[in-house]
């Protein structure tokens, strides 16, 4: 059975653009509830660790620099089929290919600066949630 949590970050471009409120409204209107949330900033080291799976990709250095360039909103979200439904809500990685009305279609700048993160599997949702939040920060 599909898990019921996913992990998200509103990325530095969307925070700088003033889109936190609009994005959180879309997330809540889509039926997700908030289990944990923080406004924080990743160090380059932490961003590198979070995206370690992409270490060999040509865009890795750019990705780490971008994700540590300003504050983010990190959150754990709950809903049935959370991972799949959230990926549908955020849209494709490249906003040029994201379906109309998705968060990335509305707020992403380009494929690198794409407004929001969503976990890609139940296993990674747990790993990413544990990376950012202690047990005492979850409700």
Nearer to ligand DAT, 100 or 135 (CB): 100
Judged by CB under 6 A, does residue 114 bind ligand DAT?
Answer: yes
The secondary structure element, H or E, covering residue 100 is: none
Candidate residues 17, 46, 112, 124; the one interacting with ligand DAT per rule CB under 6 A: 112
Q: Does the active-site annotation cover 19?
A: no
CB of 136 to Mg ion, least distance (A): 27
Nearer to Mg ion, 85 or 120 (CB): 120
Candidate residues 37, 63, 89, 115; the one interacting with ligand DAT per rule CB under 6 A: 63
Nearer to ligand DAT, 94 or 137 (CB): 94
Q: Looking at 12-20, 95-103, 108-116, 128-136, which segment touches ligand DAT (CB under 6 A)?
A: 108-116
Q: Which of residues 114-133 bind Mg ion (CB under 5 A)?
A: 120
CA-closest candidate to residue 16, choices 112, 107, 98, 118: 107
Residue environment code for 38-76, b if the CB has 16+ CB neighbours within 10 A, otherwise e: eeeebeeebbbebbeeeeeeeeeeebbebbbbebbbbbb
What is the rounded distance in angstroms from the CA atom of residue 45 to the CA atom of residue 90?
A: 26
What is the rounded distance in angstroms from the CA atom of residue 133 to the CA atom of residue 29?
A: 24
Q: DSSP secondary-structure letter at 61?
A: H
CB of 120 to Mg ion, least distance (A): 5
Q: Within a 10 A sphere around the Cβ of 107, how many other Cβ atoms?
A: 24
Nearer to ligand DAT, 81 or 93 (CB): 93
Radius of gyration of the chain (CA): 14
Judged by CB under 6 A, does residue 71 bind ligand DAT?
Answer: no
- Residues designated as active site: 117
């Amino acid at each position: 059975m599909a898990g019921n949590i996913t992990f998200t970050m509103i990325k530095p471009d969307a925070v700088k653009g003033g889109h936190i409120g609009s994005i959180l409204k879309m997330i809540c209107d889509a039926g997700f509830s908030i289990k944990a949330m923080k406004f924080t900033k990743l160090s380059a080291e932490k961003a590198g660790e979070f995206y370690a799976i992409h270490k060999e990709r040509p865009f890795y250095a750019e990705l780490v620099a971008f994700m540590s360039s300003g504050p983010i909103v990190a959150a754990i979200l709950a809903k049935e089929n959370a991972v799949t439904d959230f990926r549908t809500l955020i849209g494709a990685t490249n906003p040029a290919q994201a379906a109309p009305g998705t968060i990335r279609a509305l707020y992403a700048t380009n494929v690198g600066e794409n407004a929001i993160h969503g976990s890609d599997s139940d296993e990674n949702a747990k790993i990413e949630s544990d990376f950012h939040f202690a047990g005492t920060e979850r409700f």
